[in-house]
Amino acid sequence: MTKGCSILYSFLVLVSLLLPILRVCNASDRWNLTIWCSRTPNPRICESCVQLIYPDKFSLEQFQQGTMILAIQEAVNATKIVWKNVHNLKTEREKTRWKSCGNHIDATIHDLATAISADSDDGRQDPLNKALASVAECYKESVRGKSKENRLGVISSHLYKLVENAIAVNNSTIALLMKVERKLSGKQENGCKETSRHFKNISQQQGTAPSISPLGEGTYPIRASSTGAQIKIVVAKDGSGDLETIKAALDTAQSRAGGRFLIHLKKGIYNEYVVIPSHLKDVRMIGDGIGKTIITGNKHSGHNGIDTYTSATFAVEASGFIAEGITFRNTAGRHGGQAVALRSHSDHSAFYKCSFESYQDTLFLFPGRHFFRDCDIYGSMDMICGDSTAVFQNCNIFLRKHTGDDVVITAQKRSGRDGGSGFVIQNSRVVLTEELRPLGGERVFLGRPWGKFSRTVFMKTYLEGISKQGWREMHENRDGDLVYYAEFENTGPGADTSGRIKWRGVRVIDEKEASEFTVGRFLHGRSWLPATGIPYDSDL
């Protein structure tokens, strides 16, 4: 059975089980469809589609769940169409785009299932935001092509609107009224919690697996990690470990029954393109230190059908990934265009004492919570980009010379006003490399808005060589009034904010507002970072 058909079958079965349960949940407190759909960005689609699954009256709880069901049904139909047609395309370029779109929609299905299975409104927001970002990537593939690829645009555009509606419903007064309703009724959760259990069973794994071998003697300290059984394996290029390639180690991880999979990468240069698939959760990789354990590649956009997404040397699609003491490198060079060193869709992902090296789009981060501590990041244009919720703490950001005149650190892609994503650079250093220093900092910028509601915060960070303007426009988005670009107690020659660009969204914030972007509040780090064993500052 093909990948698309397998996903289609699984979710059609699950949705068929889900609908009858929803119909009997909370049959009281009926509300007008037009009123509630008016709270969404796409009210007409909301009304016409919700009526398909609820021809009669329905409750608030059913309406909220229904918007997610509609999105997942549309995603299932979309993945069926994509994987059915991909083999009929004539050129490799078209096939690559359709396959990429198919992978994004498959990720959307997974994230929507996670959202439906969440026990709280807050727990739905991250997976819904991830789903929206994946659909946006599919749409981006469609607008690059012609002819049949326009069909991708129709598919992804409609799916995008359905996911967008689901996000709005979960963020709006609807969710608030549901919480009030539960309190008044004296219930923490109502009968619709049953719907979650069907989806939770999708990816649950039980049991533990025996250790393969003890970790070898490395020069990098092995830190304490999360609870649960650990499978330990050593990878060494010189043959002194259990295996010689990262791919072989991940193939071994596929057969584990549960627990965190711990891989020690001994020093060496690993010329591999690595993908950690979404089902391979809780992988921890520990190298022998920056510049000692190196994972490298040289793919870049525009070469042999490769785009930004597929240019990544190392890609993480599974949650709970942790890396320590590793250099992730893309050697395409400053003339290579978009060349990603690390692409991550992971949630609850942490990187400690790692290095990321490229020029354009060094870090491509999709929705999910990412934490970077004591890391080095090298780049020149949009070096930290994407739609994730990420905090960079005690990091060094090294600015390289770009092929053009401008150097830009961030390109954050929050596309909705209610989106929870954003980049936070805290207690870090932004410095010019020697190749850039002679040119000065007049064309060096903190960021530009990839998404209309782009959000980036620099706080308590040393800034060298930043232009007086500070921020600049992006060709896809020239409206800077909707962004949230903030600075708080930065230092250094680039920290003067008096000459910043006059956008309503650009601001200097006080301590109270800055505290909303700490690890503790913005990443909810206290709930998951202690288990990683990685040091962090929860507050300012």
Terminal C-alpha separation, the chain? 52
| Burial group, residue 473, by CB count within 10 angstroms (0-12, 13-18, 19+) | middle
Q: 364-369 long-range CB contacts below 8 Å, 24 or more apart?
A: 364/308, 364/309, 364/312, 364/340, 365/390, 366/130, 366/133, 366/134, 367/111, 367/126, 367/129, 367/130, 367/132, 367/133, 367/421, 368/126, 368/130, 368/319, 368/344, 369/126, 369/523, 369/524, 369/528
- Number of neighbours of residue 42 by Cβ within 10 angstroms: 16
The one catalytic residue in 288, 376, 382, 387 is 382
Q: Tell me if residue 537 is catalytic.
A: no
275 with 311: CB under 8 angstroms?
A: no
Residue 508, beta-bridge partner list: 487
Strand order across the beta sheet in which 389-393 lies: 230-235, 260-265, 283-287, 322-324, 349-352, 369-373, 389-393, 422-426, 455-459, 484-488, 506-508
Query: And the tokens for 58?
Result: 């329905």
Q: At residue 330, what is the residue type?
A: N
Q: Tell me if residue 418 is catalytic.
A: no
Give the SS3 label for residue 457: strand
The one catalytic residue in 361, 374, 376, 387 is 361
Short-list 301, 236, 310, CA closest to 270: 236
- Number of neighbours of residue 249 by Cβ within 10 angstroms: 24
Give the SS3 label for residue 494: coil
Query: And the tokens for 57?
Result: 């009256």
* Strands 230-235 vs 260-265: parallel, antiparallel or unpaired: parallel
Query: And the tokens for 227?
Result: 């609870």
330 with 358: CB under 8 angstroms?
A: yes
Supply the residues annotated as catalytic: 361, 382
